[in-house]
Amino acid sequence: MSPLLIPRPDRIRMSPDRRGAGGFVLDSRSAAGFGRCSLLLAAGDFGSGGSGGKGMAEGSVTTEYLIVGAGIMGLALAREIRERDPSARVSVVEKEPVPAWHASGRNSGVLHAGFYYTSDSLKARFTREGNRLWRDYCRERNLPMNPCGKVVVAKNEDEAEGIRELKRRGDKNGVEVRIVDEKELGEIEPNARTAGIALWSPTTTTVDPVAVARSLAQDLAARGVRFFYGTPYRKNLGNRRILAGETVFSYGTFINAGGLHADRIARDFGFAQGVTILPFKGVYLEYEGASPDARPVRTNIYPVPDLAQPFLGIHFTIKVDGTVKIGPTAIPAFWRENYAGFSRVDLRDLREILGWEARLFAGNDFGFRDLAFSEIRKYSRAYMASQAKALVRTLDPSRFTRWGRPGIRAQLLDTKTCRLVSDFRVEGDRESIHILNAVSPAFTASLPFAAWTLGRFRSGEGWRP
C-alpha cells in the first residue's frame, strides 16, 4: 500500500467510515501541503481491524498483548513484542485519531546523547543506545535527520564546574563528549559564547518526531499489529478485561503506556500509589523569515542546567529543516491536556492539580514557587529572547515571533515527599505493566527502554534499576 500522508493533528476531524471497513475517516480541509483529503485508516497505514469513535467499537476483542497508548513508548513496546514473538496477537488502543498526538509528537525532536543523567539511572542506561538505534532507524527509512550536535556553554566562570560534571557523567555513561575551549567552540558554532570552556556533543541529533512515530506505526501495522484509534481506556473490568471506547478487550498481558493518564490507569490496577502526574507546559518560540545562511545558529546550544531540576533551561534547538527555536517553557499546567485556553478542560483534573500546585507553592517544595514565578515571565517573547541571548554573541530578538505547538510534560510527583520523580518508573505484576514518568529523554530512550521492560517482565526480575 502506498505511504500514508497525515495532516497535522490539530487540523483534523473524525467521521465514521460509511464503507463498512471498520475504520474511520480523517477529513482534513485546511492542512498545509495536503489540501482537501480523506484518509481511511487501514492495514498498511496505521492499523488493521481498527475502530472508530463512540458507537463504532461495540463488541469484544481478544488479544495476547494489549497496549494502551500509541505514543512512542506504546509503539516501541509493540515493536519489541513483535521482535520477540512474531506470531503474538498485539493490539494498541489509542484515544486520539492518530499516533503521537500528545508528548511524543510535540517534543523538541532532539535525540539526546545521554550525558545529563547519573550512571545509576534508567535514563543513563538507555539514552546513549536509543540515540544510536533511532539514528539507524531514520537512515534505514530515509527519514529526515539533522546531525547538528550540541554545545553546552557556561554563562560565567562559576558554571564551568557544571561543564566538568556533565563531562564526568558522560564518561561514566559511555557517551562521546569532550570539553572544548572558546577557540574550538567558535569553530563548531561561531555564534556561541562561553566563559572559558564548553561541552561538545557530536552525536546529538534532531529528527521529526511525528514522522518517526508515523513510520513506526506503519511498520507495525504491516506486521500485523492492530490499532484501535478513537478508543479511550475507560476502566478495568477484572479477569484480564478492560473497557476501551465501547469495546471489551480481553488480554493475556496489559501494558499501560498512557502518558499523561498513565498514573490513573495504573491506579485502576492497584499501582501508582503515592504518585500523581503534575503537568508542565512546554512552548518554543521560532525564528522567522531568515534564509538558511542568515539563521542565528547552526548547532543546538544549551546552558548549564540546574541538575537538581529535570528541566534544561532556555536553549536553542535546530529542527530537521534548519528552523531555529528557543525554549521551552516549563509552566505549571492546570490540567493534563491544558494546551490552549480552555480546550480539553477536565474539571476533575483542574481540582486535583490546582490543589497540589497550591500546596507546593505554599511550601515551595523542590523550589516550585520560584519555578512558577520564573516560568510565568516566559510568556513574554522579549524575556524568552533575553534568556537565549545570553548564550550567543549576537541575536535579533525581534525575529522570534511565532509560538510553536505546545506540549505537556507528564511529570510524576511523589505525593509523600512532595518531590519530582527524576527517573523513569515501571510498576506491575504478571498481568500488567505500567510505564510511569516517561518524560524526556523518553523519546530517545524508548527502544532500549521497551526491550528492558519486557525482558524484566519475562524473567520475573521486576523493574528496579
pLDDT digits (tens, 9 = 90+) for 175-189: 999 999 999 999 999
What does the pLDDT look like over 435-462, one tens digit per residue? 999 999 999 999 999 999 999 999 988 8
- Position 33 confidence tier, pLDDT thresholds 50, 70, 90: very low
Arithmetic mean of pLDDT, 356-375: 95
3-state secondary structure of 361: helix
Are 314 and 285 a contacting pair, CB within 8 Å?
no
291 contacts: CB under 8 Å, gap ≥ 6: none
Determine what percent of the chain is predicted with pLDDT higher than 70: 87
Q: Which of 47-51, 364-368, 402-406 has the lowest mean pLDDT?
A: 47-51
The Cβ of residue 235 has, within 10 Å, a number of other Cβ atoms equal to 11
Is the full-model pTM beyond 0.85?
yes
Spatial separation of the C-alpha atoms in residues 30 and 7, rounded to whole Å: 9
Provide the pLDDT confidence category of residue 343 given band limits of 50, 70 and 90.
confident
**What integer pLDDT is reported at residue 387 of this predicted model?**
93
Above 70 in pLDDT, residue 31?
no
35 pLDDT higher than 60: no
Mean pLDDT calculated for residue range 347-357:
95
Rounded Cα distance between 305 and 152, Å, is 9
Mean pLDDT of the chain: 88
User: What gap in Å lies between CA 425 and CA 73, rounded to an integer?
Assistant: 13
Whether 15 has a pLDDT exceeding 70, the answer reads: no
pLDDT at 419: 96
pLDDT in tens, 68-83: 999 999 999 999 999 9
Q: Does position 333 have pLDDT exceeding 50, yes or no?
A: yes
For the chain, the domains span: 9-105+210-274+423-459, 275-415
C-alpha cell at 248: 471489551
Strands 197-201 and 205-207 turn out to be: unpaired
The C-alpha atoms of residue 317 and residue 315 are separated, in whole angstroms, by: 6
User: Is the confidence at residue 417, as pLDDT, over 70?
Assistant: yes
Q: For 172-176, 246-250, 379-383, which range has the lowest pLDDT when averaged over its residues?
A: 379-383
CATH 3.30.9 for the 275-415 domain, yes or no:
yes
Look at residue 58 in the predicted model and tell me its pLDDT. Answer: 63
Q: What does the pLDDT average to over 342-366?
A: 94
Instruction: Write out pLDDT tens, residues 269-310.
Output: 999 999 999 999 999 999 987 677 789 999 999 999 988 888
CA distances from 21 to 47, 48, 93, 122, 262 (A): 12, 10, 18, 42, 31
DSSP string covering 124-184: HHHHHHHHHHHHHHHHHTT--EE---EEEE-SSGGGHHHHHHHHHHHHHTT---EEEEHHH
Q: Which of 224, 59, 222, 209 is nearest to 138 (CA)?
A: 209
pLDDT for 465 equals 59
Does CATH number 3.40.50.10470 belong to domain 9-105+210-274+423-459? no
